[in-house]
């Protein structure tokens, strides 16, 4: 059974907008003396499908259209938005944003907008999802579902979710910039519940990114996703409780990069440093890690969820070295923070939608590979734990303190991976963890699960993350006392 509902559907209102219309809106937004103004126009289509209990439970669609107007006056920002593109509503929004300033108009708009040239395309989508039949997407969901359910008789319940959106944006500003981007996103995720001898465990797996449906034919297939979720659930049925205390921790490649993102990456976003909230606020040019550690935030990776041809201010997507040879070399900047620090924007100005203001946000954040092999990293540990996957994390951005639940891992004994572990938390401090990285392997991987949805300031944006196998000399493990 398929139910189609559109709780967030927004019908476009008003006539199509031209560059002449947008210039009039900018002029009105600057009529009270702002220093800078920009317009963010967005059109988005979305679809989600959910399957459980052997049926397609839900299929929902939404269409969103709207426009946001920002005015910057010295150190103040005014922002207003509307999903009604009629002349009256656009004027009202422009004047609302203009209220942040209170002086005669002093900015002259250029005669014409200069289109931003895009050198490459980060999305690689041949079969763009929103152009394909619903039945084709339901088939992907059903294949993942059956694959998980048939993996083992211990699997008692499966849930599979499919999601897609296509976001098209157009940014113009008072400096004459005009930039557009088309951003597809697809994700397929499976959850499997296993039960044996009264014990129940769950496993998760997924894949996707800025891709088309062809990704699931030649990349990570629905069958692989379903089997991986079921395999993890069954494996955890045999997991043991590890001892607690301070010990070496090896972070596996790929998905454990979420620790890098949460515990370290947020602290390198420029607004937290501009406000002296982050522990990294006085560390530019100083050592924060060993010389073999290099951390990058990158908007240019093909197919990854955090990639952008241009950010939401029209700045080109680019690769930004945050830590180079152990030295903190840059923060992640939008236009406001870049002006404050007297540097160029790094392409990290992002927003959830036209209803939200811009913030410095991560895109795809990862640590470069090191000189060791994965076996050498694990072999250097006599007693510790190996973490393959984490979830349910909590982080204090300012201090960098974090706690994450280990959803999949192993004991390390005498340099070998042994019993699978469960019901364990790891705790620590991001900057201290960074300083305590003593080995890096040569197996950098990006999370293949389609990335994540990063929350900040009440907004969520898609991001990617990854890292190689990594040894942290000492972390707090909250398991069972030895």
Q: 445: Cβ–Cβ under 8 A, 6 or more apart, which residues?
A: 253, 254, 466, 467, 468
Would you state the pLDDT for residue 119? 64
Q: Can you tell me the mean pLDDT for 294-306? A: 94
Question: How far from each other are the two terminal CA atoms of the chain, in whole angstroms?
Answer: 52
Mean pLDDT of 377-389: 95
Render pLDDT for 25-63 as a digit per residue (tens, 0 to 9).
999 999 999 999 999 999 999 999 999 999 999 999 999
Distance (Å, whole) CA 82 – CA 72 = 18
Helix (H/G/I), strand (E/B), else coil: 263: helix
Q: What is the pLDDT of residues 171-219, one digit of tens each?
A: 999 999 999 999 999 999 999 999 999 999 999 999 999 999 999 997 7
- Rounded to whole angstroms, the Cα distance separating 450 from 445 reads 13
Q: What backbone torsions phi and psi does residue 54 show, to the nearest 5 degrees?
A: 70, 10
- CB crowding 87-113: b at 16 or more within 10 Å, else e: eeebeebbbbbbebbeeeeebebeeeb
C-alpha–C-alpha distance, residues 451 and 448, integer Å: 7
Mean pLDDT for the stretch of residues 287-299 = 97
Give the SS3 label for residue 131.
helix
Average pLDDT over residues 221-247: 93
For residues 137 and 67, the answer to whether their CB atoms sit within 8 Å is no
Nearest to 227 by CA among 147, 339, 283: 147
Of all helices (H) and strands (E), which one includes residue 21? Answer: helix 19-29
Which pLDDT value is given to residue 4?
Answer: 32
Mean local confidence (pLDDT), 94-120: 86
Contacts with 79 (C-beta within 8 Å, 6 or more apart), sequence order: 68, 69, 70, 71, 97, 357
Q: At what angle do helices 134-149 and 222-236 cross, to 10 degrees?
A: 30
Question: What CA–CA distance (Å, rounded) separates 68 from 80?
Answer: 6
Confidence band of 479 (pLDDT split at 50, 70, 90): low
Mean pLDDT of the chain: 91
Q: Mention every residue, 6+ apart, whose C-beta is less than 8 A from residue 181.
A: 118, 168, 169, 308, 309, 310
What CATH number has the domain spanning 4-236? 3.30.2290.10
Q: What percentage of residues in the chain have a pLDDT greater than 90? A: 78
Q: What is the pLDDT of residue 481?
A: 53
Instruction: Give SS3 for 393.
Output: strand
Q: Return phi, psi of residue 38, to 5°.
A: -145, 160
68, 356 contact by CB (below 8 A)? yes
Please state the pTM of the whole predicted model: 0.91
**197 Cβ contact list (under 8 Å, min separation 6):** none
Whole-number pLDDT of residue 480: 57
**Per residue in 330-377, pLDDT tens?**
999 999 999 999 999 999 999 999 999 999 999 999 999 999 999 999
Query: Tens of pLDDT along 138-182?
Result: 999 999 999 999 999 999 999 999 999 999 999 999 999 999 999
Helix axes 19-29, 87-98, angle to 10 degrees: 30
Instruction: Please tell me the predicted confidence (pLDDT) of residue 371.
Output: 94
> Does the pLDDT of residue 6 top 60, yes or no?
no
User: What are 148's two structure tokens?
Assistant: 């998980």
Mean per-residue pLDDT for 273-298? 96
Label residue 12 by pLDDT band (50, 70, 90): very low
Considering the chain, tell me which residue range(s) the CATH 3.30.2290.10 domain(s) occupy.
4-236
Structure tokens given for 340:
């404050």
126 backbone dihedrals φ, ψ, rounded to 5°: -85, -45
Band (2; pLDDT cuts 50, 70, 90) = very low
| Cβ(385)–Cβ(412) below 8 Å | yes
Q: Rounded to an integer, what distance in angstroms lies between the CA atom of residue 366 and that of residue 258?
A: 9
């Amino acid at each position: 059974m398929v139910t189609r509902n559109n709780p967030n559907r927004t019908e476009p209102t008003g006539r199509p907008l031209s560059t002449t219309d947008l210039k009039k809106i900018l002029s009105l937004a600057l009529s009270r003396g702002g220093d800078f103004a920009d317009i963010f126009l967005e059109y988005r289509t979305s679809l989600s499908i959910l399957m459980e209990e052997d049926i397609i439970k839900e299929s929902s669609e939404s269409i969103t259209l709207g426009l946001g107007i920002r005015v910057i006056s010295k150190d103040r920002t005014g922002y207003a938005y509307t999903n009604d593109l009629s002349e009256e509503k656009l004027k009202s929004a422009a004047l609302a944003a203009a209220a942040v300033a209170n002086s005669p108009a002093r900015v002259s708009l250029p005669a014409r907008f200069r289109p931003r040239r895009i050198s490459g395309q980060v999305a690689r989508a041949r079969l763009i999802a929103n152009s394909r039949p619903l039945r084709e997407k339901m088939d992907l969901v059903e294949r993942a579902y059956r694959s998980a359910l048939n993996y083992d008789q211990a699997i008692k319940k499966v849930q599979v979710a499919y999601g897609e959106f296509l976001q098209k944006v157009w940014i113009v500003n008072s400096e004459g910039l005009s930039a557009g981007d088309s951003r597809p996103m697809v994700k397929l995720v499976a959850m499997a519940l296993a039960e044996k001898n009264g014990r129940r465990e769950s496993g998760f797996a997924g894949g996707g990114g800025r891709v088309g449906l062809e990704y699931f034919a030649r990349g990570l297939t629905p069958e692989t996703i379903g089997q991986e979720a079921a395999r993890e659930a069954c494996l955890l049925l045999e997991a043991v409780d590890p001892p607690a205390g301070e010990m070496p921790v090896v972070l596996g490649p790929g998905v454990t990069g979420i620790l890098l993102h949460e515990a370290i990456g947020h602290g390198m976003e420029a607004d937290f440093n501009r406000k002296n909230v982050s522990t990294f606020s006085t560390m530019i040019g100083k050592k924060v890690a060993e010389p073999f550690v290099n951390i990058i935030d990158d908007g240019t990776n093909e197919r990854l969820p955090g990639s952008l041809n241009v950010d939401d201010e029209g700045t080109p997507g680019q690769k930004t070295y945050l830590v180079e040879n152990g030295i903190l070399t840059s923060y992640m900047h939008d236009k406001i923070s870049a002006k404050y620090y007297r540097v160029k924007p790094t392409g990290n100005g992002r927003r959830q939608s036209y209803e939200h203001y811009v913030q410095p946000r991560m895109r795809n954040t990862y640590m470069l590979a090191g000189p060791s092999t994965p076996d050498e990293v694990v072999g250097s540990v006599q007693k510790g734990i190996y973490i393959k996957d984490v979830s349910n994390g909590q982080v204090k951005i300012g201090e960098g303190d974090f706690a994450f639940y280990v959803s999949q891992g192993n004991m390390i004994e005498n340099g070998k991976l042994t019993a699978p572990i469960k019901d364990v938390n790891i705790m620590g401090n991001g900057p201290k963890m960074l300083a305590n990285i003593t080995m890096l392997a040569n197996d950098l991987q990006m999370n293949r699960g389609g990335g994540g949805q990063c929350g900040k300031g009440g907004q969520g944006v898609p991001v990617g993350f990854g890292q190689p196998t990594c040894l942290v000399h000492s972390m707090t493990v909250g398991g069972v006392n030895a």
